[in-house]
Structure 1
């Protein structure tokens, strides 16, 4: 099915968007830990040296020496995405073990160290400038997220898509929660990473955007203010990629399992496809007040899917899974168009049965009373 997407002025554009041909790619950040203590370890160089040559083009440093990042190639099929993430996760887990460490798919360090003994940042001039600019906002074992890229036909359409995504992102935020523990303690949050990550000034909900020109103006103003070093530091929960023809969704903790990551990627692609259809039909995005977006994302980070969620459409608060079901109904035709409906139905069922990564970690700890058992569980689930 082709969508003739309207341009920013509202006239029919020349470009046609086949919503069944929206590519999707995933970036994942992982924590490297000492196998004896589970604490974050300054291990990235040792692990990179053990990465198989055929994977090195898809692996890189992250901000701290306790982190490592992978990126899948963009593609159309969820099966291919799952295969790619499986090869990368397995390859890096093996590299970490050969180097004497373990790799965990977790939002932040469940077993420390505390902020006074944080792993060093990677020796990169840009990272050093970030520390000089922002000061003591980054200590900790490392904050590990997942970024999903969905292909779009151009930036003018992209900013409209970003507006349409805003009310749905807290639901996805809740589904990705995977960091309940920090420095050996239960934080009371499903995503403690979200709390720590929000110490960085540029982090937050995407503002309402009038046009691509408005988007660029906002970025320039934030750079001029000193809040951003450059456009790459635009840490809005959804943005236009600075180097790819995609919208980039960056709300979540890194997912515990490959299946969780594939599910979130599919849901995001479905939402982008639905947004393109709305734009074609002239249906406007729902303007949401900034303070309510902040509240909805706070609730998502706190409760995950095991509690309540803010409904940005009716202003109420409901069980989180009620909003997940509504999201699924909203994008069902778009999942079917991509060939994703059966897979997403199955994976959502598993998520409902087993809970988010945060819920699963807590289940292990409640059963065993040992953080070491949580670390073991994370390592096994990460590899896939």
Structure 2
């Protein structure tokens, strides 16, 4: 498994600064050609992305997540900025699109959807044997993805005000035409035909703009789970990765045993995702077992129970239990940001505190 994290670049006052190209050049990074383990640009000049190497051990992955954050900060230091794990900027901003033809084309075609995409996510890649296994996983993980969103929520503020959402990033991201849950595909041929059909509509630039909640990675032999905010605390990113791997492994085992995928209702999946983004861990979620509201603590417990065997076999159960305890104690990124703002009344101070936790 591997983790990609996107970070905001902010100045001394906490406002986003368009210095990604300068930071990458100053630190000797050449961009996406370098692959895993490197710093990379994102859609906006106010962002940097890191990626771990593929890891099988959770402790090693946890260290790589922290190392990636440190690399991002070293690059930011070279241009007088700071790298912070916030999924949206609490402070008002005007985003600056990276000067690459593909990104500039997207900005022109998608208008305000592209101009406002200063959002930072966390993507988890989990290896699969082949496309057959990958599609079998995609057809089974959907009901549980909203729970991962809830665990990661870290974007309550947008353009200087409280949105009342725990993850407003998820609302901004949902504007893209290919984002969100998918129907069951059944076979790799059906999956790839669906991707090709989307490209052939002429509405998106290429297959890399197929932004399903979970997809077969165009770059790696993995299932890529894309629903999470970038996590404020590196421990939460580690937790997210462990649960994502547990979900993929549990789904792959169910397929190998001949168990059919659960009934898929994209309208319910979309509503569950909205509910997770709205209240995060602070209220009720939609239970994937009943499709009825239940307390967040109970629904997270249902997820852990669902993937328990896979966590035990990977040696991750104890770590997941510990990391979940820490997450419940803080309430998660959205709750922490709101608590900091309640103390200070200053969104600039919220960003300062977030920088500290990012690199804890």
Q: What is the aligned partner in structure 2 of residue 249 from structure 1?
A: 225
Query: Which residues in structure 2 correspond to 1:1-384 (within 5 Å)?
Result: 24-36=1-13, 38-51=14-27, 58-113=38-93, 118-140=94-116, 142-384=118-360
Unmatched 5+ stretches in structure 1:
1-23
1:108–1:141 contact (8 Å) kept in structure 2: no
Assess, with a 3 A threshold, how the Cα gap between structure 1 residues 129 and 323 changes in structure 2: closer, same or farther: same
Report deviation, 1:51. Answer: 2.9
Report deviation, 1:290. Answer: 1.1
Comparing 51-60 and 293-302, the one that deviates more: 51-60
Taking structure 1 as the reference length, what is the TM-score of the superposition?
0.89
Report deviation, 1:141. Answer: 6.6
Comparing 121-130 and 132-141, the one that deviates more: 132-141
Report deviation, 1:169. Answer: 0.4
Could you report, residue by residue, the CA deviation over 1:31-63 in whole angstroms, capped at 9, with x for unpaired residues? 011212x22111112222343779976111100
Report deviation, 1:170. Answer: 0.6
2:87–2:119 contact (8 Å) kept in structure 1: yes
Unmatched 5+ stretches in structure 2:
none
Secondary structure of the 1:189 match is: coil
2:287–2:294 contact (8 Å) kept in structure 1: yes
Matched residues, number: 356
Secondary structure of the 2:276 match is: helix
CA distance in 1, matches of 2:53, 2:310: 22
Could you report, residue by residue, the CA deviation over 1:310-365 in whole angstroms, capped at 9, with x for unpaired residues? 12321211111111001111111211111111111100111111111111111111
2:149–2:228 contact (8 Å) kept in structure 1: yes
CA RMSD in angstroms, aligned pairs only: 1.6
Assess, with a 3 A threshold, how the Cα gap between structure 1 residues 54 and 382 changes in structure 2: closer, same or farther: farther
Higher Cα Rg, which structure: 1
Report deviation, 1:187. Answer: 0.6
CA distance in 1, matches of 2:342, 2:288: 33
